[in-house]
């Protein structure tokens, strides 16, 4: 600020809103950590079902009413709905140069669609009656 030992000012705070971007990054990292576990469990379940020759009916017989399974897939779907749109947002920004507010609406809609359709699938497997 000056040269006579009156102390120095800190730097001015930038106007650009960095905070939402940081939270998006945290959300994507956290959801990735969840997905690392969820994808493994999901794949293991599929391989188990296929290798044991379970029919669709046999699978549904085991899954219906399974609260733990439903809870797991709600978490899984939530992690997907958070993770995928944030990644796609970065891709659109870098590859398409799409950086306007409309991009945020697009990825928000995508997140909602992933969540709704994912939840609908989980509901059909774990809750809906035969």
Partner 1 sequence: MLQVSVWRGDASGGYRTYEVPRQDSQSVLDVVTYIQRNIDPTLSYRFACRVGMCGACAMTVNGVARWTCRTHVSKVVKGNAIQIAPLANLPVVKDLVTDMREFFDKWARALGRFFPRATRKDDFARVDSASPERVAANAGIECIGCAVCYASCDVVSWNPEYLGPAALNRAWTLVNDVRDVSRRERLAAIAGDAGCHACHTHLSCSERCPKGITPTAAIAGLKRATALAAWKGEL
Contacting positions for partner 1 (CB under 8 A): 3, 5-14, 16-19, 21-26, 29, 90, 93-95, 99
Q: Identify which of residues 1 and 130 has a Cβ nearer to partner 1 in the complex.
A: 1
Q: How far is the CB of 79 from partner 1 (least distance, A)?
A: 18
Report the residue number, 68 or 101, with the smaller CB distance to partner 1. Answer: 101
Report the nearest approach of partner 1 to the CB of residue 117 (Å): 28
| Residue 64: CB minimum distance to partner 1, A | 40
CB of 96 to partner 1, least distance (A): 10
Q: Closer to partner 1 by CB, 6 or 55: give it.
A: 6
* CB closer to partner 1 out of 5 and 56: 5
Concatenate the DSSP letters of all residues of the chain into one string: --SSSS--PPPPPPSS--HHHHHHHHHHHHHHHHHHHHHHHHHHHHHHHHHTT--HHHHHHHHTT-HHHHHHHHHHHHHHHHHHHHHHHHHHHHHS---SHHHHHHHHHHHHHHHHHHHHHHHHHHTS--
């Amino acid at each position: 600020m000056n040269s006579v030992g009156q102390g120095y000012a800190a730097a001015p705070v930038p106007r650009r809103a960095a905070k939402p971007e940081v939270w998006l990054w945290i959300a994507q990292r956290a959801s990735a950590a969840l997905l690392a576990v969820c994808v493994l469990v999901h794949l293991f379940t599929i391989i188990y079902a296929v290798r044991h020759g379970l029919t669709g009916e046999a699978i549904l017989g085991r899954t219906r009413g399974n609260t733990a399974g439903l809870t797991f897939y709600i978490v899984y779907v939530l992690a997907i709905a958070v993770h995928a749109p944030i990644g796609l947002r970065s891709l659109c920004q870098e590859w398409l140069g799409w950086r306007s507010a409309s991009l945020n609406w697009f990825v928000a809609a995508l997140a909602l669609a992933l969540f709704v359709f994912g939840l609908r699938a989980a509901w059909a497997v774990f809750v809906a009656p035969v």
